[in-house]
Amino acid sequence: MRVQMLGLCRFSYLGLRGYQVEHDSIAARRAYLYDPARLERRWLWFTTVALPGWLAQTDPDFTLVVMTGPDLPQPWLDRLHDLCARLPQLRLSLVAPMEYHLQACRAAVAPHVDGTAQVIGHFRHDDDDAVAIDYVARTRADFARVAPLWQQHGRLSLDYGRGLMVEARSGQLKMTPRICHNMGVALTIFLPPEAQQTALDFNHTRLAQWMPGVQISEPLMFLRSIHADSDSGDMGPGLPWQPEEGGLNRLLRERFDLRRGDLARLARQLA
């Protein structure tokens, strides 16, 4: 069964809905999202934290749509153009502001759906989070194990629950190992190719309302960032897990192609 892995990453997309930080007008949201200092911080998170894992995927057969507005200020718009031109898995989608966020997300993703695939593995990815370098490969392999459940219902979620919460506050870096349920990162929604929805159509905290779900708690699969610009600034519910002594640095390198020193330096830059 051929599965297309298709993700959406919103980079300061200008729309009135779809975020926890609310604004009264499009002008107020534009001023907030397009503030140059904020955009530079988002770019640092994106390039330092999010990109390495995607560049190092052991299965390169995936598409990540980077969604932003056509009026994203320079130099960030040119940076995204250059980045997506160099990396075949990244597709830049410029979507004009829409009042209804789900409609905008569908407009960004729809042109990239492979109609020849039998299943589309939709995922969302925030520009400051990371997935492990084998996320795509493991998702395909684990979906094959539970494919009969998808065939029965036509919808299925597959969630990797073991992650690291990375907090950058006051120039300090703190990492907390957590096992979470449907956090949103490293979570895949499997739908038929003719479906209109994307991963954003389904509130990740209430997935059981719409579909059966499978959670896999090993291995370490995601890194979630928490900082002053986070749309949601807390860890949420979860369970602790304990890596082996001195193992976090190794896990960062092996699972995410990240270095602790780079994360610490980023935290200092953002102070």
Q: What is the pTM assigned to this prediction?
A: 0.95
Residues 6+ apart with CB under 8 A from 164: 175, 176, 177, 178, 220, 222, 223, 224, 248, 251, 252
Task: List b or e across 182-202, with b for residues whose CB sees 16 or more CB atoms inside 10 angstroms.
Answer: bbbbbbbbbbeeeeebbbbeb
Domain ranges of the chain: 3-269
248-256, long-range: CB < 8 A, 24+ apart: 248/164, 248/175, 248/177, 251/164, 251/220, 252/164, 255/132, 255/133, 255/219, 255/220, 255/221, 256/52, 256/53, 256/130, 256/131, 256/132, 256/133, 256/223
The CATH code belonging to domain 3-269 is 3.90.550
Question: Rounded to 10 degrees, what is the CA torsion of 220, 221, 225, 231?
Answer: -140
Q: Report strand pairing: 239-240 vs 3-10.
A: unpaired
The pLDDT value recorded for residue 22 is: 63
> Other C-beta atoms within 10 Å of 142: how many?
15
The pLDDT value recorded for residue 237 is: 87
The pLDDT value recorded for residue 252 is: 97
The pLDDT value recorded for residue 21 is: 57
pLDDT in tens, the chain (271 residues): 899 999 999 999 987 665 555 666 788 889 999 999 999 999 999 999 999 999 999 999 999 999 999 999 999 999 999 999 999 999 999 999 887 899 999 999 999 999 999 999 999 999 999 999 999 999 999 999 999 999 999 999 999 999 999 999 999 999 999 999 999 999 999 999 999 999 999 999 999 999 999 999 999 999 999 998 876 667 888 999 999 877 999 999 999 999 999 999 999 998 8
The pLDDT value recorded for residue 17 is: 60
The pLDDT value recorded for residue 26 is: 80
